[in-house]
Structures are given as structure tokens and as C-alpha cells.
Amino acid sequence: MSRALLMRHGPNMDAVPALLTFTASEPPIGYYARTPTSGPERTLVERCAAQISACGSQAAPLALFFEPAMTQGYPDLVVTYDPAHYAQWRLPRLQLERADLRLIAFLQSQATVDLGAILATHCGERRPVLRRLLRLAEAGIIVEQNGAWRVVAPMDVLGVRHIQAIEAKMPAVPRLIEQALHHSFYATETVLLLPHARLSLALTQAVERHGLGIWVQTPTACQRVRDATPASLRVSVESLRLNEWIGRRLVADGRVVPLPALEVDAAAWCWPTTAMRSPSRFQQLCFGASGTVDSPAMGGDSGVVAPGCLNDERRS
């Protein structure tokens, strides 16, 4: 049985690493991170990461992100994920861009949405929005019915299962709480990584009030002083970005083989009846003269789809 067939019916656990590490920008998969600055804070994080890597996760594979370029800051992240999710990926998924993720998050929050509501919410022109809808439909993420769109399987949008944001500081400064709370809208847990547990009363009260965790680095190990209050995983642009980076790395490493794009009758979105449909004209108007969404390849005829950018800016 081929790897593609194995992955189609379930994850090949022998092919999925127990730990994925993202230490620097990887433009081929659309991932961008800040270059870490050497110093006490970096040493603190590296020691903690080494301990996490050694312990691993018996429940699910782990992905460690070192200072990824998130919307508000550059946290360190520990993410658990389900390999079975990525076994269902289709090729157009590799082309998703940040605007596509915003559209997924919006559709996920609604039962069904018509084109007018999508255009009003995203302040977009008709042609680019239709291109995004087509890309998401070909990826098997959304489906159109009677002029409205919905996410096909809301629970399957994310393969990510748990996101732990780590905010390291030496020493614990007043802005630490503010910085940590930036991650609360996508992380299921937020942890403060500190050199010691001697906190001011105000800082201790803020930690308890916001449900933050505290880890302290001792001479021998990173110890958990206070557990974070867990939150439900949300489908947001940030959680989707982490999800896509993991999937693209698995594909790039040859551990997951994407399925072909779904065939989508895009003409039906514009012309409500069969008699009115004119696919070639519709596709020329909405998707350009070629009638299809562009699918640029990297490396000549390698057939590898160029990744969509998941950042507002390509930062290194």
C-alpha cells in the first residue's frame, strides 16, 4: 500500500515525527520568525524547550515554535496536533493566504453566509473574494449551496489541538501581563517563564485573575509553580496559521501527501440556473483569462505548489 493511501485512511505514525521544531524563518512554507537575540531570556527558553523535547507528549505529536511572527508579538509556542487532520489535506490548501484564513474564521463563526455578507464584512471586491471562495472550495474546506457558503466540517478545520504560549522575561516586569494577554485570544494556555518565583503582590494577583501559569527555571529543571487555567481552542487567524505551518512542513518533508483538488462548478455561483450559465465567460470575468486560479510551481516542473503567504508582510 502506498504512503498516499496509508495517509488517506489514517496517519502513518511512523512517518510523523514526535517533535517538529521551528527555529527560524522558512520561506518555502510561508513561515516567518524573528531571529532570536542571545541573552538570559533566550537561555531560559532554550533550557525549557530542551526539557519539553526530552519529555515529549504521549497523547499527540508536538510542534515547538521559537518566536514566530504572530500578529501581536513573537511568543514561544508549544503546540500539540492530530496527524489525521493533515491526511485529508488537498493541494489548494498549500496556497492559502492570510486573507483566506480570515475568511475561514469568519465562515466558521456563521451557519451559512451569502456573497453579499462576505463582501460587506471583508470590504473586498467581487473578483478576489470569488477567487478565495473557489480556492477554499477546491481545498474541501467550504461548500456552496443555493448561493450561500458554509464550512464543510467545522470540527475538522484545525488539526491543532492545544496551543501553549510562553512569555519569558528576566526579570518579571509590569508589562509582562499585558504581553501575555496578547496571546489569550488564540492560545489555550498562557504561561510566564521566569528565573524565580518571587513576584510582587500586584503581579501575583494579576496572574491569578487572568488564569496565567507560572514556570520557574531552577538550576536543574524547569518547574511548574502554577497551572494555567485552560481555555477552549478557537478557530482564529492565528490558530489557523499555526495549523497551516505544521501541515506545510509535513508536506515539505514528504510525511503527508496532499490529495488532488476537488472539482468545483464555479459557474453555478454566478449563474443561478443552468440555462444562464456560461462557465468560460464567468471564469474569464472572475478568475482571469485562463479561467482558473493561478497555481504557480516552484522549481520548474517539480509540481510543488508555491505556498501562499500567511503574514501581512514577509518578515525574516
Orientation angle between helical segments 98-108 and 126-138, nearest 10 degrees: 80
Nearest to 191 by CA among 210, 171, 170: 210
- Indicate the SS3 state at residue 47: helix
| 26 Cβ contact partners less than 8 Å away, ≥ 6 residues apart | 249
Per-residue pLDDT tens over the stretch 108-129: 988 888 888 888 887 667 888 8
Compute how many other C-beta atoms are within 10 angstroms of the C-beta atom of residue 132. Answer: 22
Residue holding cell 473578483?
127
Q: How many helices (H) and strands (E) does the chain have?
A: 11, 12
Indicate the pTM of the whole model: 0.81
- Longest Cα separation, the chain: 76
Distance separating alpha carbons of residues 135 and 3, to the nearest angstrom: 25
279: left (phi over 0), alpha (psi -120 to 50) or beta: alpha
Tens of pLDDT, residue by residue, the chain (316 residues): 233 323 333 445 456 778 899 999 999 999 999 988 777 778 888 888 888 777 655 567 999 999 999 988 899 999 999 999 999 999 999 999 999 999 999 999 888 888 888 888 876 678 888 889 999 999 999 998 888 899 988 778 999 999 999 988 776 666 788 888 889 889 999 998 888 877 788 888 888 999 999 888 887 778 888 899 999 999 999 999 999 999 999 999 999 999 999 998 877 665 544 444 444 444 444 444 444 444 333 223 333 445 667 776 444 3
Distance separating alpha carbons of residues 220 and 73, to the nearest angstrom: 29
Distance separating alpha carbons of residues 80 and 18, to the nearest angstrom: 10
Distance separating alpha carbons of residues 178 and 210, to the nearest angstrom: 10
Nearest to 160 by CA among 72, 228, 238: 238
Q: Contact at 8 Å (CB) between 181 and 157?
A: no
| 156 Cβ contact partners less than 8 Å away, ≥ 6 residues apart | 85, 88
Structural domains in the chain, CATH included, are 3-85+158-226 (3.40.1350.10), 94-155+262-305 (1.10.10)
**pLDDT for res 25:** 95
DSSP state of 172: -
**pLDDT for res 257:** 94
